[in-house]
Amino acid sequence: AQSVTQPDIHITVSEGASLELRCNYSYGATPYLFWYVQSPGQGLQLLLKYFSGDTLVQGIKGFEAEFKRSQSSFNLRKPSVHWSDAAEYFCAVGSSYNTDKLIFGTGTRLQVFP
Amino acid sequence: NAGVTQTPKFQVLKTGQSMTLQCAQDMNHEYMSWYRQDPGMGLRLIHYSVGAGITDQGEVPNGYNVSRSTTEDFPLRLLSAAPSQTSVYFCASSYFFTGEAGANVLTFGAGSRLTVL
């Protein structure tokens, strides 16, 4: 079955520390992978996406993610977290042929301490 | 461009009442969808549409109806609200498959928080 797993429900980091949010997927076809961020009371905003090519992708707000096919992973990273990064982060998988079948993970809530 | 607009932002219903959540987009997107977001469950697809006059069920369609009479609008109807439908609802839209990678990235509305008592 197709699925996305975000094993960390809640992560707390200090401002300025590095961050890695984990995402593992199970998908039969070639996956298109996404990370979305949701600030409190807001809708979802696209951080970055991977379709093909370079497996290290850069997104907005200084985030990057690396696609590792052998590990079925698409982990999100940021070298230095800012207090404004506190939000909920969702990983999602789909394909260009099935936008209607975009599958979301359960999300990771990030808390940032000063 | 306004993007994806959802109304209302907040709504409280009593069990058995009906209501419609509105969703409109001004990007000429063919694909529109409704998700519900519940704690610990992520986003789950309720219904979607790939164009005017075409709708289909997602993962959790029971208790909800949709129609797509225009490209711009995709309302979600609750015919007889139940407490289990208490949730935050998101509408999202995109271009449908165009053969161009990246064209069909979803744009989300700000959400509608529904409470059913």
pLDDT computed for residue A29 by the predictor? 73
Distance CA A86, CA A77 (A): 14
Residues of chain B with C-beta less than 8 angstroms from the C-beta of A45: 108
Could B41 and A106 be called an inter-chain contact, meaning their C-beta atoms sit closer than 8 Å? yes
What residues contact residue B110 under an 8 Å CB cut-off, 6+ apart? Answer: A42, A43, B6, B9
Q: Which of B42, B94, B109 sits opposite A99 (nearest CB)?
A: B94
Of residues A95 and A46, more confidently modeled:
A46
Residues of chain A with C-beta less than 8 angstroms from the C-beta of B31: 99-100
Is A3 at the interface with chain B, CB within 8 A?
no
pLDDT computed for residue B85 by the predictor? 97
- B55-103 pLDDT tens trace: 999 889 999 999 999 999 999 999 999 999 999 999 999 887 655 555 5
pLDDT computed for residue B33 by the predictor? 94
Residues of chain A with C-beta less than 8 angstroms from the C-beta of B109: 43
pLDDT computed for residue B10 by the predictor? 95
User: CA torsion angle for B68, A93, A7, B89 (degrees, to 10)?
Assistant: -10
Lowest mean pLDDT among A58-72, B11-25, B59-73, B88-102: B88-102
Q: Are A108 and A97 in contact (CB under 8 A)?
A: no
Distance CA A65, CA A74 (A): 6
Distance CA B71, CA B59 (A): 23
- A2-41 pLDDT tens trace: 889 999 999 999 999 999 999 999 987 778 899 999 998 7
* Torsions phi, psi for B12 (to 5 deg): -115, 130
Picking from B100, B89, B86, B104, the residue whose alpha carbon sits closest to that of residue B43 is B89
Residues of chain A with C-beta less than 8 angstroms from the C-beta of B40: 9, 106
Distance CA A93, CA B78 (A): 28
Q: Scanning every residue of chain A, which has its alpha carbon at the shortest distance from the alpha carbon of B89?
A: A43
Q: Are B30 and B95 in contact (CB under 8 A)?
A: yes
What's the full length of chain A, in residues? 114
Read off the pLDDT band of B1 (50, 70, 90).
low
Distance CA A70, CA B102 (A): 23
- Tokens read off for A41: 């009371």
Q: Are B32 and B23 in contact (CB under 8 A)?
A: yes
Q: Are A20 and A7 in contact (CB under 8 A)?
A: no
Of residues A87 and B2, more confidently modeled:
A87
Mean pLDDT for A90-102 is 74
Q: What angle do CA A3, A85, B108 make, to 5 degrees?
A: 55
Could B105 and A46 be called an inter-chain contact, meaning their C-beta atoms sit closer than 8 Å? yes
Read off the pLDDT band of B3 (50, 70, 90).
very high
